[in-house]
Chains A and B, each alone.
Chain A
Amino acid sequence: MNGLELIKQAFALQPVGRIPWVPFVGVHGGYLISTDAETYLKSAEKITAGISKAIELYRPDGIPVVFDLQVEAEVLGCDIRWSEAGPPAVVSHPLAEGKSLKDLTIPGPDDGRLAVCLQAARSLREKYPDIALYGLITGPFTLALHLLGTDIFIKMFEAPKEIHAIMDFCSRTAQKIADYYMQAGCDVVALVDPMTSQIDRQTFDTFVKPYVTPVFEQVRQNNKLSSFFVCGHAQQNIEAMCDCKPDNISIDENIPLDFVKEIALEKGISFGGNMKLTVVLLMGSEEDCREHALECLDLGGNTGFILAPGCDLPRETPSKNLITVANLLNDPYQQEIVRTLEKKESTLEIFNMKDYGQADKVIVDIVTLDSESCAPCQYMVEAVKRVAPYFEGVVEWREHAIKKMEEVSFMSSLMVKNIPTICIDGKIAFVSKIPPEKVLVAAIQQRINEKLKLKIKSKKSEIILLGKDDEKFQELKERVNRAQTELGKDLEVKIITDQKNLASYGVVQLPAVVSVHYKIKSEGLVPSTEVIKEWLKEL
């Protein structure tokens, strides 16, 4: 099934085999093709190239053409200021600076950067017929705020008629822009109105609802899909947003996903969100992204849910983080691994593995999900099984299936992050990729050689001479010294003449020679019982 169909299915609240995903690539598209935000947002070619790159990397089911809520405002006369790393900001508000509504006309498709956005939409449509294309329009309240500035908040109380007139204009503008995007081939019209997060339910019902509802209605009449995005803390308005009758609502990390799910499904509309933009996607590690994405997937469920970031992606979001999300989404094995690990991590006990792998035998550990149900795990275990006979008696191998708690602890203790992984004597050797037989044999052989070297180095012996201070004992000492010299050995020679100590060596007749072999097994730490047992086996 292609992405567009999958999105349609989710919008229709039909259960899906795989949850669809829509990364909100805005100026991040520019980042992908090394272009600053301003150059990017002013060029249909650049936008097309950036989004194409995003599609190639992130394998989305749907994607916005442009994420810039200043396009309409700029056409309507707001001054904007560009920055390198983000979408532009509105810096002047015509309706607060002498202009009146009569001076404004609804933008046409060729006006300002609208032409650029629509051209990009057409090119992407042609290039990607199977992906849901989102046309983003500035919500009426956010547009009104651009036009009037923050006076809008106080004027809602002091001059409500004026605000209603402005909202009406912004609503008609939104309907027109929706039309342009649909004609350019977009499948979904997303009305983005973040400023509505700043007002209460009653104000929303009075000043927003009557002006966004017709936009969604119009999209429906054109047999296209609509979505209502609100970035920001809009929890108080979720129900009111649903009552405006969009086909989908999309929210950000400020609002708990399960809360939105409950309301949206009750109202019979689909919902999306709400991956954390900064602490996870922008600043987090790949593991953070995997865990967090899975958390969203499990909360959202397979009916009516679309995985998406909470709002537009920061420009410099590392691609590897988003690729990680895409990989997870397409790989049920990986999801199960992350799920298993996540559940168990809280009660995890970390073993001290500093001295692991010091036994005579070389230990090969294979960390798997479960070699019976996970194909890559199975192949990895088989690879080890195949080479083990070459090292009969020298190598011992074990599988650690992380479905068991103690194996998860073992995995974490070895600092293994990926499944499957082969460790040789406690060191990570092969991650995810199954090594060819020769490579695996060489790796094990190398470890055996290392150990041999170590063994020779670390062996120390001592000779203890027991006796009375008599002639016989003198003779013995001389002979031992001579033997040492002839052999070129450097042994520790300990002389014991104290009668009381003799008995402790079990010696009855004097003089006597006792030899002792030492081997340093560990230094400066208390080895775990598991490890000590390995050593004891050698004796």
Chain B
Amino acid sequence: MSELLAKIAECIEFGKINKAAPFPPQMKGQEGADELTRQAIDEGIPAQQILTEGLMIGMEKVGIKFRENKVFVPQVLMSAKAMSTAMMHLKPFFLSGEVKEKGTLIIGTVEGDLHDIGKNLVSMMVEGNGWKVVDLGTDVKADQFVAALKEHQNAIVGLSALLTTTMVNMGKITKAIKEAVPEAKVAIGGAPVTDDFRKKIGADAYSPDPQGLVEYLNTQVA
């Protein structure tokens, strides 16, 4: 059983989607996340266990390798694709309540900015760690964040920006969120963002990489 979960973790780590997928070359012809997850369910392994001991382990390894510049966006996207293929099999268990999410992250690229690669990577990593993600998309204004926060009580907010010209909007949005929901936590990230900048705008967390946000979120679990 644990061998099967380890295999699933490996498929996620290296982005092996299914048997037919040519990537990665060293796993050509082998079964992928798709087949192995189905197999695990059929063998009666609890969905929660498949998630935490298989998928999440693989995703965490990718997150760490991404942080250490050992893999880059293309590889992470492949892992995420493998992850979402596996999640299709687990979806019914989420709906039935057998698998529980750790919490909710509301995420969006800030007003004026249309870049979504970074935000999507973060969403995938956070989701892959067992969180619910409410993705508000790109060019998201302060009131949209506030409205989402009122709908999803106790959610944590993540702001993304790629441009130096739009990152300044993070300050405005953080302020609006804190005014509307004083206890709300705001995490920020994106290429031009730094921890100095976070301090300047009064946000709660900054991470240069998605895994850092995952770690921060996990410290916030009650």
Contacts and interface: CB of A to CB of B under 8 A. Distances in A.
23 contacts: A81-B114, A83-B112, A85-B112, A89-B115, A150-B77, A150-B116, A150-B117, A150-B120, A153-B77, A157-B22, A158-B23, A198-B73, A198-B117, A199-B73, A199-B74, A200-B71, A203-B72, A233-B69, A235-B69, A236-B72, A277-B164, A279-B194, A311-B164
Interface string A219-242: 000000000000111011000000
A382 B166 CA distance: 51
Contacts of A233: 69, 191
A104 interface: no
A400 interface: no
A323 interface: no
Contact of B165 (A198, A199, A236, A315): A315
A81 B196 CA distance: 30
Contacts of B73: 153, 198-199
A277 B194 CA distance: 11
Interface string A163-205: 0000000000000000000000000000000000011100100
Nearest to B77: A153
Interface string A259-291: 000000000000000000111001100000000
A214 interface: no
A27 B112 CA distance: 15
- Give me the 8 closest cross-chain CB pairs, A-B, nearest first: A86-B165, A157-B23, A198-B73, A153-B74, A89-B114, A200-B72, A314-B164, A153-B77
Interface in B54-99: 69, 71-75, 77-78, 81
A90 B116 CA distance: 12
A37 to B, nearest CB: 9
Interface residues of B, number: 33
B28 to A, nearest CB: 12
A154 B81 contact: yes
Contacts of B165: 27, 83, 85-86, 314-315
Contacts of B192: 277-278
A279 B23 contact: no
Contacts of A311: 164
Contacts of A91: 114
Contacts of A348: none
Nearest to A89: B114
Contacts of A200: 71-72, 74-75
Interface string B185-197: 0000001101011
A474 B217 CA distance: 86
A154 B77 contact: yes
Contact of B74 (A83, A154, A282): A154
A283 B71 contact: no
A377 B113 CA distance: 49
A154 B112 contact: no
Contacts of B194: 278-279
A263 B147 CA distance: 50
